[in-house]
Structure 1
Protein backbone atom coordinates (compact mmCIF):
# COMPACT_ATOMS: atom_id res chain seq x y z
CA UNK A 1 0.00 0.00 0.00
CA UNK A 2 1.37 3.39 -1.01
CA UNK A 3 2.18 6.17 1.45
CA UNK A 4 -0.32 8.27 -0.49
CA UNK A 5 -3.11 5.95 0.54
CA UNK A 6 -5.26 6.47 3.58
CA UNK A 7 -7.53 3.81 4.95
CA UNK A 8 -9.61 6.36 6.85
CA UNK A 9 -13.34 6.68 6.25
CA UNK A 10 -15.07 9.44 4.37
CA UNK A 11 -17.11 12.13 6.04
CA UNK A 12 -20.65 12.94 4.92
CA UNK A 13 -21.39 16.29 3.32
CA UNK A 14 -21.06 18.05 -0.02
CA UNK A 15 -18.38 16.83 -2.41
CA UNK A 16 -14.97 18.44 -1.96
CA UNK A 17 -13.53 20.57 -4.71
CA UNK A 18 -10.04 19.28 -5.53
CA UNK A 19 -7.22 20.26 -7.85
CA UNK A 20 -4.59 18.15 -9.51
CA UNK A 21 -1.56 19.49 -11.34
CA UNK A 22 0.23 17.16 -13.75
CA UNK A 23 3.84 18.21 -14.36
CA UNK A 24 6.01 16.52 -16.93
CA UNK A 25 9.68 16.33 -15.99
CA UNK A 26 12.04 18.88 -17.53
CA UNK A 27 14.14 18.11 -20.63
CA UNK A 28 16.33 15.06 -20.02
CA UNK A 29 19.75 14.23 -21.37
CA UNK A 30 20.52 10.99 -23.27
CA UNK A 31 23.79 9.68 -21.77
CA UNK A 32 24.71 5.99 -21.87
CA UNK A 33 22.76 5.06 -18.72
CA UNK A 34 19.57 3.13 -18.04
CA UNK A 35 16.45 5.15 -18.90
CA UNK A 36 15.41 5.36 -15.22
CA UNK A 37 18.75 7.04 -14.39
CA UNK A 38 18.75 9.69 -17.14
CA UNK A 39 19.59 13.14 -15.70
CA UNK A 40 18.28 16.50 -16.83
CA UNK A 41 19.87 18.25 -19.77
CA UNK A 42 21.14 21.82 -19.36
CA UNK A 43 17.86 23.17 -20.78
CA UNK A 44 15.96 21.04 -18.26
CA UNK A 45 17.99 22.48 -15.38
CA UNK A 46 17.03 25.96 -16.61
CA UNK A 47 13.33 25.18 -17.29
CA UNK A 48 12.53 23.33 -14.02
CA UNK A 49 12.84 26.43 -11.77
CA UNK A 50 10.79 28.42 -14.32
CA UNK A 51 8.05 25.77 -14.05
CA UNK A 52 8.32 26.02 -10.25
CA UNK A 53 7.84 29.80 -10.38
CA UNK A 54 4.83 29.40 -12.66
CA UNK A 55 3.39 26.75 -10.30
CA UNK A 56 3.82 29.25 -7.44
CA UNK A 57 1.91 31.84 -9.48
CA UNK A 58 -1.12 29.53 -9.61
CA UNK A 59 -1.55 30.13 -5.88
CA UNK A 60 -2.18 26.44 -5.25
CA UNK A 61 -0.83 25.27 -1.88
CA UNK A 62 -0.20 21.60 -2.62
CA UNK A 63 -1.02 19.14 0.15
CA UNK A 64 0.96 16.34 -1.51
CA UNK A 65 3.42 15.85 -4.34
CA UNK A 66 3.74 12.43 -5.95
CA UNK A 67 7.00 12.17 -7.86
CA UNK A 68 8.30 9.36 -10.03
CA UNK A 69 11.46 7.72 -8.76
CA UNK A 70 13.30 8.34 -12.08
CA UNK A 71 16.34 10.63 -11.80
CA UNK A 72 14.95 13.24 -14.20
CA UNK A 73 11.68 13.61 -12.27
CA UNK A 74 13.42 13.80 -8.89
CA UNK A 75 15.83 16.42 -10.27
CA UNK A 76 12.94 18.41 -11.80
CA UNK A 77 11.12 18.40 -8.46
CA UNK A 78 14.26 19.39 -6.52
CA UNK A 79 14.72 22.44 -8.78
CA UNK A 80 11.03 23.40 -8.97
CA UNK A 81 10.06 23.02 -5.31
CA UNK A 82 12.48 25.75 -4.20
CA UNK A 83 10.30 28.23 -6.09
CA UNK A 84 7.12 27.35 -4.16
CA UNK A 85 6.06 29.33 -1.07
CA UNK A 86 5.78 26.10 0.95
CA UNK A 87 7.07 22.58 0.38
CA UNK A 88 4.34 19.95 0.28
CA UNK A 89 4.78 16.46 1.66
CA UNK A 90 6.48 14.47 -1.10
CA UNK A 91 6.10 10.78 -1.85
CA UNK A 92 8.46 9.21 -4.40
CA UNK A 93 6.23 6.74 -6.19
CA UNK A 94 7.87 4.07 -8.36
CA UNK A 95 4.54 3.24 -10.02
CA UNK A 96 4.63 6.62 -11.84
CA UNK A 97 7.57 5.46 -13.95
CA UNK A 98 6.29 3.98 -17.23
CA UNK A 99 2.71 4.10 -15.91
CA UNK A 100 -0.17 3.52 -18.30
CA UNK A 101 -3.27 5.71 -18.21
CA UNK A 102 -5.09 3.00 -16.24
CA UNK A 103 -2.20 2.77 -13.76
CA UNK A 104 -2.26 6.55 -13.26
CA UNK A 105 -6.01 6.66 -12.62
CA UNK A 106 -5.70 3.73 -10.20
CA UNK A 107 -2.93 5.59 -8.36
CA UNK A 108 -5.10 8.73 -8.09
CA UNK A 109 -7.94 6.58 -6.74
CA UNK A 110 -5.65 5.67 -3.81
CA UNK A 111 -4.97 9.25 -2.72
CA UNK A 112 -6.32 10.14 0.71
CA UNK A 113 -9.36 12.41 0.75
CA UNK A 114 -7.43 14.57 3.22
CA UNK A 115 -5.54 15.81 0.12
CA UNK A 116 -7.33 18.62 -1.73
CA UNK A 117 -4.50 19.84 -3.96
CA UNK A 118 -2.17 17.27 -5.53
CA UNK A 119 0.91 17.68 -7.72
CA UNK A 120 2.09 14.73 -9.82
CA UNK A 121 5.57 14.87 -11.37
CA UNK A 122 5.79 12.22 -14.06
CA UNK A 123 6.48 11.26 -17.65
CA UNK A 124 4.96 11.32 -21.09
CA UNK A 125 2.95 9.86 -22.61
CA UNK A 126 1.24 9.33 -19.24
CA UNK A 127 0.93 12.96 -18.09
CA UNK A 128 -0.60 14.06 -21.40
CA UNK A 129 -2.90 11.03 -21.61
CA UNK A 130 -4.10 11.58 -18.03
CA UNK A 131 -4.73 15.30 -18.51
CA UNK A 132 -6.61 14.60 -21.73
CA UNK A 133 -8.64 11.76 -20.20
CA UNK A 134 -9.67 13.71 -17.09
CA UNK A 135 -10.55 16.93 -18.93
CA UNK A 136 -14.26 16.58 -19.61
CA UNK A 137 -14.45 20.38 -19.85
CA UNK A 138 -11.89 23.14 -20.30
CA UNK A 139 -11.43 26.85 -19.65
CA UNK A 140 -10.78 29.02 -22.70
CA UNK A 141 -8.32 27.54 -25.17
CA UNK A 142 -6.41 25.39 -22.64
CA UNK A 143 -7.46 22.07 -24.19
CA UNK A 144 -6.73 23.23 -27.75
CA UNK A 145 -3.26 24.45 -26.69
CA UNK A 146 -2.55 21.18 -24.85
CA UNK A 147 -3.64 19.16 -27.88
CA UNK A 148 -1.58 21.32 -30.23
CA UNK A 149 1.58 21.41 -28.08
CA UNK A 150 1.56 17.73 -27.08
CA UNK A 151 2.72 18.24 -23.45
CA UNK A 152 6.44 19.04 -23.88
CA UNK A 153 9.08 18.76 -21.14
CA UNK A 154 8.33 20.99 -18.10
CA UNK A 155 4.69 21.52 -19.19
CA UNK A 156 1.89 21.25 -16.67
CA UNK A 157 -1.89 21.01 -16.66
CA UNK A 158 -4.13 22.21 -13.83
CA UNK A 159 -7.43 20.36 -13.44
CA UNK A 160 -10.23 20.52 -10.90
CA UNK A 161 -12.93 18.04 -10.02
CA UNK A 162 -15.59 17.50 -7.37
CA UNK A 163 -15.73 14.53 -5.05
CA UNK A 164 -13.47 11.86 -3.67
CA UNK A 165 -10.20 10.71 -5.20
CA UNK A 166 -11.87 7.30 -5.48
CA UNK A 167 -14.28 8.90 -7.98
CA UNK A 168 -11.55 10.05 -10.40
CA UNK A 169 -12.29 8.65 -13.84
CA UNK A 170 -12.42 9.75 -17.48
CA UNK A 171 -14.11 13.11 -18.01
CA UNK A 172 -14.59 14.14 -14.34
CA UNK A 173 -12.36 17.20 -14.48
CA UNK A 174 -12.20 20.71 -15.79
CA UNK A 175 -8.91 21.75 -17.38
CA UNK A 176 -8.28 25.14 -15.76
CA UNK A 177 -4.84 25.93 -17.16
CA UNK A 178 -2.13 24.51 -19.36
CA UNK A 179 1.40 25.93 -19.41
CA UNK A 180 4.64 25.22 -21.26
CA UNK A 181 7.98 26.85 -20.52
CA UNK A 182 8.21 28.35 -23.98
CA UNK A 183 4.71 29.89 -24.22
Structure 2
Protein backbone atom coordinates (compact mmCIF):
# COMPACT_ATOMS: atom_id res chain seq x y z
CA UNK A 1 0.00 0.00 0.00
CA UNK A 2 2.83 2.37 0.93
CA UNK A 3 4.54 1.68 -2.43
CA UNK A 4 1.30 2.31 -4.33
CA UNK A 5 0.74 5.60 -2.51
CA UNK A 6 4.33 6.71 -3.21
CA UNK A 7 3.95 5.82 -6.88
CA UNK A 8 0.64 7.72 -7.05
CA UNK A 9 2.16 10.82 -5.44
CA UNK A 10 5.17 10.62 -7.77
CA UNK A 11 2.89 10.43 -10.82
CA UNK A 12 0.71 13.27 -9.52
CA UNK A 13 3.83 15.40 -9.05
CA UNK A 14 5.01 14.61 -12.60
CA UNK A 15 1.63 15.58 -14.05
CA UNK A 16 1.65 18.83 -12.06
CA UNK A 17 5.21 19.59 -13.22
CA UNK A 18 4.47 19.07 -16.92
CA UNK A 19 1.14 20.88 -16.75
CA UNK A 20 2.58 24.01 -15.15
CA UNK A 21 2.59 27.24 -17.10
CA UNK A 22 6.14 28.22 -18.05
CA UNK A 23 5.07 31.82 -18.67
CA UNK A 24 5.80 31.68 -22.40
CA UNK A 25 2.96 32.58 -24.74
CA UNK A 26 3.55 30.01 -27.49
CA UNK A 27 0.37 30.96 -29.35
CA UNK A 28 1.56 34.57 -29.58
CA UNK A 29 5.01 33.45 -30.78
CA UNK A 30 3.44 31.29 -33.52
CA UNK A 31 1.19 34.17 -34.67
CA UNK A 32 4.21 36.49 -34.81
CA UNK A 33 6.13 33.92 -36.84
CA UNK A 34 3.28 33.55 -39.35
CA UNK A 35 2.94 37.36 -39.69
CA UNK A 36 6.69 37.66 -40.31
CA UNK A 37 6.52 34.82 -42.84
CA UNK A 38 3.63 36.53 -44.66
CA UNK A 39 5.60 39.81 -44.77
CA UNK A 40 8.72 38.03 -46.04
CA UNK A 41 6.80 36.19 -48.76
CA UNK A 42 5.08 39.42 -49.89
CA UNK A 43 8.50 41.05 -50.31
CA UNK A 44 10.68 38.16 -51.53
CA UNK A 45 8.16 36.04 -53.47
CA UNK A 46 4.96 38.01 -54.13
CA UNK A 47 2.11 35.83 -55.34
CA UNK A 48 3.80 32.55 -54.36
CA UNK A 49 1.46 29.84 -53.15
CA UNK A 50 2.24 27.34 -50.44
CA UNK A 51 1.62 23.62 -50.60
CA UNK A 52 -1.30 22.38 -48.46
CA UNK A 53 1.10 21.87 -45.52
CA UNK A 54 2.42 25.45 -45.75
CA UNK A 55 5.75 24.74 -47.49
CA UNK A 56 7.03 27.08 -50.20
CA UNK A 57 9.50 25.71 -52.73
CA UNK A 58 11.27 27.37 -55.63
CA UNK A 59 13.13 25.03 -57.98
CA UNK A 60 15.71 26.71 -60.19
CA UNK A 61 14.82 26.41 -63.87
CA UNK A 62 17.02 24.05 -65.86
CA UNK A 63 18.07 21.94 -62.90
CA UNK A 64 16.91 18.43 -62.23
CA UNK A 65 16.31 15.53 -64.58
CA UNK A 66 14.60 12.20 -64.26
CA UNK A 67 11.87 10.94 -62.00
CA UNK A 68 10.60 12.99 -59.09
CA UNK A 69 11.93 11.86 -55.73
CA UNK A 70 9.50 9.62 -53.82
CA UNK A 71 8.96 8.33 -50.32
CA UNK A 72 11.56 5.70 -49.47
CA UNK A 73 14.23 7.15 -51.81
CA UNK A 74 17.60 7.91 -50.21
CA UNK A 75 18.74 11.37 -51.21
CA UNK A 76 22.22 12.84 -50.76
CA UNK A 77 22.20 16.62 -50.83
CA UNK A 78 24.15 19.74 -50.07
CA UNK A 79 22.37 22.53 -48.22
CA UNK A 80 22.62 25.86 -46.46
CA UNK A 81 20.19 26.96 -43.76
CA UNK A 82 19.05 30.34 -42.52
CA UNK A 83 16.52 31.46 -39.94
CA UNK A 84 14.00 34.19 -40.70
CA UNK A 85 14.10 36.78 -37.91
CA UNK A 86 12.51 40.14 -37.24
CA UNK A 87 15.18 42.83 -37.17
CA UNK A 88 15.00 46.34 -35.75
CA UNK A 89 13.88 47.90 -39.05
CA UNK A 90 13.30 44.97 -41.38
CA UNK A 91 13.06 41.26 -41.91
CA UNK A 92 16.48 39.65 -41.67
CA UNK A 93 17.75 36.30 -42.79
CA UNK A 94 20.18 35.05 -40.17
CA UNK A 95 22.74 32.68 -41.65
CA UNK A 96 23.12 29.59 -39.51
CA UNK A 97 24.85 27.25 -41.96
CA UNK A 98 26.21 28.69 -45.20
CA UNK A 99 28.11 25.68 -46.49
CA UNK A 100 26.24 25.03 -49.75
CA UNK A 101 28.47 27.11 -51.99
CA UNK A 102 31.63 25.17 -52.72
CA UNK A 103 30.41 21.99 -50.97
CA UNK A 104 32.90 22.11 -48.11
CA UNK A 105 31.45 19.05 -46.43
CA UNK A 106 30.11 15.59 -47.16
CA UNK A 107 26.57 15.34 -48.52
CA UNK A 108 23.77 14.98 -46.01
CA UNK A 109 21.66 11.85 -46.55
CA UNK A 110 17.90 11.79 -46.05
CA UNK A 111 15.51 8.89 -46.50
CA UNK A 112 12.36 10.61 -47.74
CA UNK A 113 9.51 9.83 -45.39
CA UNK A 114 11.90 8.17 -42.95
CA UNK A 115 11.61 10.87 -40.31
CA UNK A 116 15.38 11.41 -40.12
CA UNK A 117 15.11 15.08 -41.05
CA UNK A 118 12.64 17.92 -40.66
CA UNK A 119 9.35 17.21 -42.42
CA UNK A 120 9.54 20.40 -44.52
CA UNK A 121 12.80 19.25 -46.11
CA UNK A 122 11.44 15.76 -46.74
CA UNK A 123 8.31 17.19 -48.36
CA UNK A 124 10.35 19.65 -50.43
CA UNK A 125 12.43 16.79 -51.83
CA UNK A 126 9.27 15.23 -53.31
CA UNK A 127 8.98 18.23 -55.64
CA UNK A 128 12.52 17.73 -56.94
CA UNK A 129 14.48 15.43 -59.25
CA UNK A 130 18.15 14.41 -59.23
CA UNK A 131 20.31 17.48 -59.87
CA UNK A 132 17.68 20.01 -58.77
CA UNK A 133 18.65 23.19 -56.96
CA UNK A 134 15.84 24.63 -54.89
CA UNK A 135 15.00 27.15 -52.22
CA UNK A 136 12.62 26.05 -49.48
CA UNK A 137 10.74 28.28 -47.05
CA UNK A 138 9.75 26.04 -44.14
CA UNK A 139 7.50 27.33 -41.36
CA UNK A 140 8.27 26.21 -37.82
CA UNK A 141 5.48 23.62 -37.82
CA UNK A 142 7.37 21.77 -40.59
CA UNK A 143 10.79 22.53 -39.07
CA UNK A 144 11.67 22.69 -35.37
CA UNK A 145 8.45 24.05 -33.81
CA UNK A 146 8.55 25.43 -30.30
CA UNK A 147 11.75 23.59 -29.39
CA UNK A 148 13.99 25.27 -31.99
CA UNK A 149 17.35 23.77 -32.92
CA UNK A 150 20.29 24.54 -30.71
CA UNK A 151 21.49 28.12 -30.52
CA UNK A 152 21.00 28.84 -34.22
CA UNK A 153 17.24 28.41 -34.74
CA UNK A 154 14.89 29.55 -32.01
CA UNK A 155 11.38 28.53 -31.11
CA UNK A 156 8.81 29.24 -33.81
CA UNK A 157 11.31 30.40 -36.44
CA UNK A 158 10.82 29.90 -40.14
CA UNK A 159 13.73 28.10 -41.78
CA UNK A 160 15.01 28.98 -45.25
CA UNK A 161 17.03 26.30 -47.01
CA UNK A 162 18.93 26.21 -50.25
CA UNK A 163 19.25 22.61 -51.39
CA UNK A 164 21.15 20.91 -54.21
CA UNK A 165 20.44 17.24 -54.90
CA UNK A 166 23.70 15.35 -55.32
CA UNK A 167 22.51 11.76 -55.69
CA UNK A 168 19.28 9.76 -55.42
CA UNK A 169 19.14 6.05 -54.64
CA UNK A 170 15.58 4.95 -55.46
CA UNK A 171 13.69 2.94 -52.86
CA UNK A 172 14.67 -0.75 -52.97
CA UNK A 173 17.80 -0.17 -55.06
CA UNK A 174 21.23 -0.68 -53.47
CA UNK A 175 24.55 0.39 -54.96
CA UNK A 176 28.04 -1.11 -54.55
CA UNK A 177 29.41 2.31 -53.55
CA UNK A 178 27.90 1.99 -50.07
TM-score with structure 2 length normalisation? 0.30
Question: Quick check: which has more Rg, 1 or 2?
Answer: 2
Comparing both chains, which one has the higher relative contact order based on Cα–Cα distances under 8 Å and sequence gaps of 6 or more?
Answer: 1
TM-score with structure 1 length normalisation? 0.29
More helix by share: 1
